[in-house]
Structure 1
Amino acid sequence: MSAADRIDHVLVVGGGLTAWYAAAALKRRAPFLTVTLLATPPAADALADRIACTLPSLPGFQVDLGIGEDDGVTRTGAGYRLGTRFVGWAEGRPDYVHAYDGYGHPIGSAAFHLHWVRAAQDGTVAPFDAFSPAAHLARAGRFVPPTPDTPFAGHDYGLTLDLDRQRAMIRAFATHVGVIEMPGEIEEVSVDARGFVTGVTLIDGRTVTADLYVDATGPAATLREAVDEEWRDWQAWLPCDRVLLAMAPAGEGATVLTEVTAHAAGWRWSSGEQRGIAYSASHLSDADAAAMLGTTADAVIAIRPGTRPCPWRGNCIAIGDAATQVEPLEWCNLHLALSAIDRLIAMLPDRHMAEVEAADFNRQTLAEAERVRDFLAAHYRTAHRSEPMWHTVAQAAPPPGLAHTLAQFAERGRLPFYEEETFTRDSWAAILLGQGFLPRRVDPLVHSTSPGDVHRMMARMTDAIAAALPHTPAHAQWRAAQMRRLAR
């Protein structure tokens, strides 16, 4: 690429975590760029910026930027998360844990969950999450990082953020590596006949131009909406179109296991430092939702479940809530934004903004968003609740990817895997089996090992976890030890 072809200036617009992470990553990983962040007021309805729970992708993203755990986690007051406990999603069944870990290990030539299905049909097996070391840690309120030569060697972890401190950290990092911060509010976005953004006029009269524009303004998508308004609606499969957030009472620390409890019109959660409720406005009023939350809540956040099939058009790329909006079930909002930032940097365009490059970015981004949609929709599709909202969404014809996955699993427990998956096969199995969605037939591969041998292997797995668990610290103890280490 010649110097004349290379882009020089990127304008990132937005004031929340998504914008700051985008600007920091662009400058850190493409230092030849001039990266300006137009710090518009943070969007109150941008869930990627406002949900405290994260997937394991955030710690990994920080490491890629050169932000160590001391700065990205400990000094920002973040807690560690090992998974989510689902309560009331399948009436008549116990709660279950979706942990960021493997569940058992293959036996013979068959995946562990296939052996578990055979044992479950015989009525002689512990719950599926009993075979996840991280699920045991999480239920006990304990935490250790992956530790070789122990049962706790293979798990991953997300975070529960102190959002204000996290934003202050990444803002300081971004400006340290050379991002230029420009406070302002947008008056007008200029777009030419090709659909390229040509400039942004601020309310104070200034005009800002760039080679590439990154829209991290939240659902308003202030830049990207000026190009086109194409949108795919997902509400038939993701029914919750409202969220209320509130702070937990003083003294409650971050929990290593986030509890998500279903209710008649959606679900509610508590992460220790933040609590919230997601619900369908057609089935629950805002006032009743606030009453269920049990504390003073922020303003109602309206969600338009769906995605922008072409987040990259011309020289403008939408990320975060500007590209995809989903309820925060499974905590995917910030994850999708970080994934888009990685993809943008890997596919960084030149001045030609070749359509073939944008098309591949859009293909991958849409595929990832749709598989996240399928994973979230699977919770509703396989739930066992009798209320009208749940009945309606369970009866809706599923999207093709989810229909294929459920059909394969329902027949003999096989889990197809798509190119742009966020969640592992073990995660899919944890949700489906936890909600009682069992295959009709046992996979023939399991017959290579006798039921008795499998039972003994399963017992050894759970015994090893039980023996190691008392030697792990409580989550609060681990966090306190990390703070003491920094203070020395």
Structure 2
Amino acid sequence: MMERSLKRIVIAGGGTAGWMAASAFARFLGPSYAITLVESEEIGTIGVGEATIPAIQLFNQSLGIDENEFVRATQGSFKLGIEFADWREPGHHYLHAFGAIGRPLGLLPFHQYWLRHRHEGGMSSLWDYAPSARAANQNHFARPNDKPGSLPSGVAYAYHFDADLYAKFLRKYAEERGVKRIEGRINDVTVNATNGHIESVTLASGQIVEGDLFIDCSGFRGLLIEETLESGYEDWSNFLPCNRAIAVPCASVDPLTPYTRSTARNAGWQWRIPLQHRTGNGYVYCSDFISDADAQDMLLSTLDGAPLAEPRQLRFVTGKRRHIWKKNCVALGLASGFLEPLESTSIHLIQTGIAKLLEFFPSAGFLQPDIDAFNKRMDFEFHSIRDFIILHYKATNRPGAFWKRCRDMDIPESLAEKMDLFLSNGRIMRFNEELFTELGWLQVMLGQGLQPKGYSPLADLLSAEQLQEFLSIAAQHARHVADQMPLHQQYIAVHCAAPPQEKRRAMS
């Protein structure tokens, strides 16, 4: 006989992870579950501005959130991809664009025909056929408006937004649906001596909060999953050596670009995330190759607007918890692990953790097969994203000691297999619905300088004239889609402009 359902869910920590979880539980579990979130305003959150990937649309849509309201409330902007500047080598740049590139024909993806074109001396860029890339290069944006009977636009998009404002937006959503918030710092955790499950947390005020299922959103500390349950941590710094970051917002400048920018630096890389009222910036670096002071000086000297706050430093070790779900505790966000935000996957991993927890939602018995299945799926998600990020560091011709270490490092066999397969005839294998599609891998491998020796022989089934016509139609379509869009800033002004803010004084 199945044990009774659990009824009390306690979320330890707020921020983006905590309030995403609270909102999803309130939406999908309903009023029969008591959902309590404990957070302390004294602790604060890491959020310094977030760039996302298109999957976040599914999360917001599942909650019934109006997109314009969300963008307006979070001072957000739209994102068509990520520009990688100076990654392959100084002076080179490419875009990891969202959405389609050309269209498949017969049994082959579009890029196989483009590879034949290049092998025969053609000079077009792969991104000539990508509507999102063309629009991004023109600072254009509009939501896709695919009409019945017409070719799909091929455009996909995500967002940039203020992470703190997103958490506040979701807090309002969750509390309106019955989530109870308790202000307080957790001082103690009580564990059942028999089964090792967490029974309650005790706040600094002395208040005891009991629960059946605990969600650890306490950040890097991992108060429940690590300090209490000792899950253990897989250290991936041998593959991803950056271990520190400095973040600072700056004043906005025109134009408002519809893409994130990642610029390679001597000891790591710098992000730029444009919001409506400010720009988020940060330098992710390895402390073996640059001092904290020099890293801060470098970041401040390369801002394109006046800094609006004192820089904040973060220290981290890339990797993940060995068991993201242990006993009756599930970790989300930074408590579950950390992969640097090079491909904007932080919020996606929170979203995936919530979705998988709902898929394997436990009874009060917390059966081990459910826990094992969840952990296996999350392990795969972390590992596949890890490999994709490693690719950026491994495939590079940049000079300097840091980049030589990255270029010379051993890499996981799973990544080596992907790279070898692509280098032969441009083939890409996607396994078990891993996050990044063939088009994502294609753009980064080509962008980082991997050049296939050949292409699929099936691409030769087109005559030279047919190949030219096929490519020409794809390029015309991408150009037409991009040209029809307004400027990104104009689109926001019409549809989802945030209220004006008082101008903050720049740092002196």
TM-score range, shorter chain: over 0.9
Counterpart for residue 12 of structure 2:
13
User: For residues 36 and 404 of structure 1, do their structure 2 counterparts lie closer, same or farther at Cα, with a shift above 3 Å needed?
Assistant: same
Does residue 414 of structure 1 match 2:415?
no
Larger CA deviation: 455-464 vs 80-89? 455-464
**Mean Cα deviation higher: 364-373 or 158-167:** 158-167
Partner of 2:245: 243
Q: How much does 1:371 deviate? A: 0.4
Q: 1:300 aligns with which of 310, 313, 320?
A: 313
Question: Aligned partners of 1:352, 1:485: CA distance in 2, in Å?
Answer: 47
Residue 440 of structure 1, CA deviation: 2.1
Match of 1:256 in 2: 258
Corresponding residue number in structure 2 for 1:173: 173
CA RMSD, Structure 1 to Structure 2 (Å) = 2.2
Q: Structure 1: how far apart are the matches of 2:99 and 2:82?
A: 12
Shift of 1:88: 0.5
1:396 matches 2:394: no
Separation in structure 2 between the aligned mates of residue 199 and residue 163 of structure 1, nearest angstrom? 29
Deviation at 1:73, TM superposition (A): 1.9
Q: Deviations over 1:165-213 (max 9, x none)?
A: 3222111001001100011101112223433112211111122110000
Cα gap change, 1:390 to 1:139, in 2 (>3 Å): same
Q: Distance in 2 between matches of 1:252 and 1:165?
A: 23
In the aligned structure 2, how far is the partner of 1:100 from the partner of 1:91?
Answer: 23
Q: Is the 8 A contact 2:85 2:91 kept in 1?
A: no
Report deviation, 1:293: 1.1
Q: Counterparts of 2:122 and 2:205 in 1: how far apart (Å)?
A: 70
Matches within 5 A, 1:183-198: 183-193=183-193, 194-198=195-199
Shift of 1:92: 6.4
**Residues 168 and 53 from structure 1, CA distance in 2 versus in 1: closer, same or farther, beyond 3 angstroms?**
same
**428, 431, 440: which one aligns with 1:427:** 440
TM-score (norm 1): 0.94
Between the aligned residues of both structures, percent identity stands at 29
TM-score between both structures, scaled by the size of structure 2 = 0.90
CA–CA distance in 1 between the matches of 2:41 and 2:164? 14
CA 1:125–1:309: 2 relative to 1, 3 Å:
farther
CA shift, 1:65, in A, is 1.0
Q: 8 Å contact 1:307–1:369 — kept in the other structure?
A: yes
Out of 60, 67, 70, the residue aligned to residue 68 of structure 2 is: 70
Deviation of residue 320 (structure 1)? 0.9
Q: Distance in 1 between matches of 2:39 and 2:223?
A: 13
Q: CA deviation at 1:385?
A: 1.0
Tell me the CA shift for residue 253 of structure 1: 7.4
| Partner Cα distance (2:498, 2:299) in 1 | 37
Structure 2 unaligned regions, length at least 5 = 301-306, 500-508
Shift of 1:154: 2.8
Give the 3 Å change call, closer, same or farther, for CA 216–420 of structure 1 in structure 2: farther
Which secondary structure does the structure 2 equivalent of 1:160 belong to?
Answer: strand
Deviation, 1:44, is 5.9
Q: Deviations over 1:307-328 (max 9, x none)?
A: 1131001000001111120111
CA apart distance, 1:41: 4.0
Describe the SS at the equivalent of 2:200.
strand
CA shift for structure 1 position 363: 0.2
Deviation of residue 260 (structure 1)?
1.1
Q: How many residues align?
A: 484
- Give the Cα separation in 2 of the matches to 1:252 and 1:484: 15
SS in 1 for 2:199: strand
Which of 340, 343, 346 pairs up with 2:356? Answer: 343
Residue 131 of structure 1 is matched in structure 2 by 129
| C-alpha contact (below 8 Å) 2:71/2:496 kept by paired residues | no
CA contact (8 A) 2:80 2:259 kept: yes
Deviation (angstroms), 1:145? 0.9
Match of 2:330 in 1: 317
Cα deviation 1:124-166 (Å, max 9, x = unaligned):
1322122110111111111111221477623221111023332
Retained in 1: the 8 A contact 2:11–2:214?
Answer: yes
Which residue of structure 1 lines up, in the alignment, with residue 270 of structure 2?
268
Q: Provide the rounded CA distance (Å) in 1 between the counterparts of 2:143 and 2:475.
A: 19
Separation in 2 of the partners of 1:184 and 1:467? 55
Deviation digits for residues 415-456 of structure 1 (CA, Å, limit 9, x no counterpart): 111114111110110111112201223222212223442233
Corresponding letter in the other structure for 1:480: A
Matching residue of 2:212? 211
Alignment check: 8 A CA contact 2:231 2:324 kept: no
Per-residue CA deviation, residues 456-486 of structure 1 (Å, 9 max, x unaligned), is 3212221233234332111111111114899
The offset of 1:85, in angstroms, is: 0.7
**In structure 2, what is the Cα distance between the partners aligned to 1:94 and 1:108?**
34
Return 70-79 or 216-225, whichever deviates more: 70-79
Question: What one-letter code is carried by the residue in structure 2 that aligns with 1:260?
Answer: S
Preserved CA contact (<8 Å) 1:10 1:211: yes
- The 2-side partners of 1:468 and 1:423 are apart by 24
Letter of the 2:291 partner, please give it: S
